[in-house]
Chains A and B, each alone.
Chain A
Amino acid sequence: MKKYLAKRVVYLIIVFLVVSLMMFFVYNLIPSDPALVQLEPLRKALKPDEWQRQYLALRAQLGLDDPLIVRYARWMGFTKDIDGTFNGIFQGNFGYSLGYKRDVIDIIGAPMLNTTILNLLSTIITLMITIPLGIYCAVHAHSKADSGIQAATVVGYSLPTYLVGILFIYLFAVLIPAFPTGGAKTPGSTYVGLHEFADRMYYMALPIIVLVFTGLAGMTRTVRAAMLDTLSQDYIRTARAKGLREKVVIYSHAWRNALLPVSTSIMGWMIAVFTGGSLVIEQTFALNGTGKLYWIGLTTTDYELVLAMQMFYTLVSLIGVLLTDISYTLVDPRVRIDK
């Protein structure tokens, strides 16, 4: 098992490097020139040839004329930076945001907390609903209740998240004004402690409901399909023939085996929600989260911020893959023995 996990970790590191290299190249396709931006105010004050000399000097100083791969290595922190220190992603320097005029690492904290709370809560609630529901549907497959739930889930996962968001704002914030239409906390409020937490939860309730609603459909279908598959296996028939109680058959024979494909898709879904879903939901509800930050970075062409966020997203999805691998080893004994 250790060997298997080690292999996976090495593989994921390679993937991370490849993706980060690709990201860096894509980022450098953007025609931007920090040296020009820095020197632009001096253009009027200096003579043209003097300005040109300074500009070229600054370019060299910033390392803009070096090959892309060298700049990539600097950015990652593999080689020494211009000033002679190791100062890259690995050393915790994620770059400088031109839009916020601060280090990216300083502005990323609060949004990250919001997004994490949002996603963790909605994931937990979704799983708490979908797993029992999916198992129920599989056990009572083709019954009336199952058909009804199936029809409902098709609707649920066909609708785009933002449409559900708009619909829910209309229903639960406009028609029945139970929740605020957007924002992260009461404007101008200075609550502390429990009160602040309650206020934050109040504002996060509707986004969480939307995320849970859109997540419900897909996950229920996955759980149901996996359970149906295992329930049709011969060993289930054997277990039933032995006279085991139905509960034991379902929960310890079938569900354990169904967990394997389910855990993969749970991870895949969580990653998709954490990256794409939160982007949409934060945009719809004007929440201050990583998705919103990423969106702002892209629309204001604050590319150093975007790059850092993109690396963060990649990291999140790779950690997700790693967690899937770990859960595999926990769920499936074969992985532990074989590799």
Chain B
Amino acid sequence: MENNKKEFFLVRWIRRLIFPQKELDIYTEEQMQSPMRLVVKNYFSKPMSVISLIVFIIIALFVFIAPHFVYLDLGEQDSTLVNIAPGYNMLKYPKALEQNGVQDISVGNNYSIGVDKEGHVYVWGKSKVTKIIDLSKLPNDVQKADIVGVAAGADHALAYDKRGTIYAWGSDRLNQCTLPKELQQNNLSHTMKIAKIAASNQFSGVMTEDGRFFVWGNSNFVDFSYNAEEYDGHVVDFALTNNSFVLLLDDGRVVRGGEHASTTVQKVPEAAEKGVVALASTTNSVAALKDDGSIVMWGAYTKNENKIPKFSSKVVKLVGGRYHYTALLEDGTVVGWGDNKYKQTTVPEKLQGAEITALYAGSFQNYAVTADGNVTTWGLKGFPLGTDNLGRNVYSRLVNGGKMTMTIGALSVVIEIIIGVILGGIAGYFGGVVDMVVMRIAEVVSSMPFIPFAMILSAVMGTKVSIEQRMYIIMVILGILSWPGLCRLVRAQMFSQREMEYVVAAKALGVKESKIIFSHIIPNVMSVCLVTITLAFGTAMLTESTLSYLGFGVPLPTPTWGNMLTNANNSIIIQNYWWNWVFVGTIFGVACICINLIGDGLRDALDPKTSGR
């Protein structure tokens, strides 16, 4: 015992916890061991309690540390990233594609299509559009045909073979897969050769080698009219944005598609009326590459697409994704700009100095093919726990929501402790009228139906405040409504403690009554209250999440585990998008179970009956 005193107390504790002292016989133990140590020993002798404590600490650390690394974007929302299943396979192209040599790659919403030099088509990523439509289920004729080019749209895909036959599959709800008559005839007669195909959200475009252009799909969404008489036969390139298209003619002039609609994309600037050699587009903007290597851009910029960096040499190839552009320069470097949320403009270093033969981009993904046939990818790989019905990352919401739920639970318990201990201490110490009054108040509060009352308080107080203030209001409401239980316990303990010798001694010494209550008695009572406090923490978390679930807790978009599960109150989501509720439900359930097991373990450890004496 002597040498122990030199050690730092934490080291001593840990050493004692890990290497138990030699067994003492029952009488020496009574004398030698402090009651607290006995409690700790009792607690740690139960594997269930230890496991639950460890698991809970892991969860708590996770939700308090991880938010520093997992950024939560409250305004996060993207209609193309809705309800994506968990997994990192968006950039996982099949090895066979690389081995046979890449002929063409096209990127759609969360999936990509590739075709190799032998004409085999591959689909990877999240290709399931609905329960029935899966774009990776290729039609038989596509599997048989000698495909040379592919195009991936939002929920449909296109491919064409050497002879000029165009195949379309996927959702045909808005006629995305219904080819115009002339192309249908061409599928049989093969008079025209296809030069380029592209698919966008709900519509597609095709350009033939003799300069003709065809566009089809949802005509309510996109204006398909264009000056066909003048342009047909002269089209050399085209670009599709989310809801419009532009054409590049053989005289280097860019012309608008859609005679009647007026999107920002259709206002072609003067600079793009001559000398343009190629077009690229994002969801709402178009970039034209001119013959001098400069770039002209127009349209709507949402994520810094117009912030073109300085190039070290001429741009030779330009491709666009949803909110970003990627350019290949004459000296072989690849440059990306625009939205970099998913690292889609951060070009991997191993591409430096490599000879790039082809560059593909779309959505949030990029593919580069080097001269030796290797494919390099960068951009959005996928979401670890999927996305919810607004395209928000479930993982980041889970982490940050956990922090919110645990903080609210902890702080409301603190409020509960403050009120309960003070009132219970006063009532128990003084007794008589004070006790009567406090207990009647406690009875009134506990006879109020908890959830409905919390709901109305939240509705009344939380209407004209910020989200942060509302959070504090929720904590206060939970604390104010749940103190009576703790108050009763403290009061009962005070009754037995106030007759003890040490209280009498303190009184005799003339210690102030408030000091006797709060610094002499309360510390002795706290160990008994520990069980109630632990369980109260679990209850507070449950209540907060129930309130949030009902829509009266922390409001969206701030995530908590409760309001994340509100989403799941829908049989379609329960059925098809299980990741919306399974992960949150599991971690929340495990956390609550652990807290209750810790409480039970503490109760057993504190109960002298359980130690067998």
Whether, in the assembled complex, A64 has its beta carbon less than 8 Å from a beta carbon of chain B, the answer is no
B574 and A279 within 8 A (CB) = no
Mostly helix, strand, loop or mixed at chain B's interface?
helix
Whether, in the assembled complex, B589 has its beta carbon less than 8 Å from a beta carbon of chain A, the answer is yes
A280 and B549 within 8 A (CB) = yes
CB-CB under 8 A from A30, the residues of chain B are 460, 463
CB within 8 Å: A-B pair count: 124
Name which of B222-230, B346-354, B443-451, B466-474 contacts chain A: B443-451
CB-CB under 8 A from B463, the residues of chain A are 30
Residue of B nearest to A161 (CB): B546
Residue of B nearest to A276 (CB): B451
A162 and B549 within 8 A (CB) = yes
Whether, in the assembled complex, A271 has its beta carbon less than 8 Å from a beta carbon of chain B, the answer is yes
CB distance from A166 to the nearest CB of B (A): 5
Contact residues, A6-59 vs B (CB, 8 A): 15, 18-19, 23, 26-27, 29-30
Whether, in the assembled complex, A248 has its beta carbon less than 8 Å from a beta carbon of chain B, the answer is no
Most chain B beta carbons < 10 A, residue from A15, A155, A162: A162
B585 and A313 within 8 A (CB) = no
Residue of A nearest to B538 (CB): A158
A19 and B456 within 8 A (CB) = no
Mask of B563-584 contacts with A, CB within 8 angstroms, 1/0: 0010011010011001001000
Most chain A beta carbons < 10 A, residue from B447, B542, B609: B447
A154 and B593 within 8 A (CB) = yes
Given contacts A158-B589, A298-B459, whether A166 and B581 have CB atoms under 8 Å apart is yes
Q: Report how far A306 CA is from B458 CA in the complex, Å.
A: 13
- A160, A166, A316: the one contacting B542 at CB < 8 Å is A160
- B457, B538, B569, B609: the one contacting A166 at CB < 8 Å is B569
Whether, in the assembled complex, B597 has its beta carbon less than 8 Å from a beta carbon of chain A, the answer is yes
Residue of A nearest to B592 (CB): A158
CB distance from B364 to the nearest CB of A (A): 31
Q: How many residues belonging to A are interface residues under a CB distance threshold of 8 Å?
A: 49
CB distance from B401 to the nearest CB of A (A): 14
Q: Report how far A173 CA is from B570 CA in the complex, Å.
A: 12
Q: Report how far A276 CA is from B460 CA in the complex, Å.
A: 18
Whether, in the assembled complex, A69 has its beta carbon less than 8 Å from a beta carbon of chain B, the answer is no
Q: Report how far A299 CA is from B595 CA in the complex, Å.
A: 33
A154 and B597 within 8 A (CB) = yes
CB-CB under 8 A from A100, the residues of chain B are none
Given contacts A160-B542, A160-B546, whether A310 and B453 have CB atoms under 8 Å apart is yes
Contact residues, B534-568 vs A (CB, 8 A): 538, 542, 545-546, 549-552, 562, 565, 568
- A174, A276, A284, A318: the one contacting B575 at CB < 8 Å is A174
A294 and B452 within 8 A (CB) = yes
Whether, in the assembled complex, B588 has its beta carbon less than 8 Å from a beta carbon of chain A, the answer is yes
Whether, in the assembled complex, A96 has its beta carbon less than 8 Å from a beta carbon of chain B, the answer is no
CB-CB under 8 A from A155, the residues of chain B are 589, 593
B451 and A275 within 8 A (CB) = yes
CB distance from A136 to the nearest CB of B (A): 19
A279 and B452 within 8 A (CB) = yes
CB-CB under 8 A from B296, the residues of chain A are none
CB-CB under 8 A from A15, the residues of chain B are 443-444, 447
Given contacts A158-B538, A166-B565, A284-B569, whether A276 and B546 have CB atoms under 8 Å apart is yes
CB-CB under 8 A from A166, the residues of chain B are 565, 568-569, 574, 581, 585
Q: Report how far A161 CA is from B98 CA in the complex, Å.
A: 51
CB-CB under 8 A from B452, the residues of chain A are 275-276, 279, 294, 309-310, 313
Whether, in the assembled complex, A191 has its beta carbon less than 8 Å from a beta carbon of chain B, the answer is no
Q: Top 8 A-B pairs ranked by shortest CB distance?
A: A276-B451, A275-B449, A158-B592, A313-B449, A158-B593, A181-B571, A174-B575, A158-B596
Known: A295-B550, A298-B459. 18 other contacts (CB 8 A): A15-B444, A23-B456, A29-B461, A30-B460, A157-B596, A158-B589, A158-B596, A160-B588, A170-B574, A170-B575, A275-B451, A280-B451, A283-B549, A284-B569, A310-B453, A310-B456, A313-B453, A314-B448
Interface residue ranges, A against B (CB under 8 Å):
15, 18-19, 23, 26-27, 29-30, 151, 154-155, 157-163, 166-167, 169-170, 173-174, 181-182, 232, 271-272, 275-276, 279-280, 283-284, 294-295, 298-299, 301, 306, 309-310, 313-314, 316-318, 321
Question: Can you give 14 A-B contacts (C-beta < 8 A)?
Answer: A23-B456, A158-B589, A158-B595, A160-B545, A160-B549, A160-B588, A173-B571, A174-B575, A232-B609, A279-B455, A283-B569, A298-B459, A314-B447, A317-B449
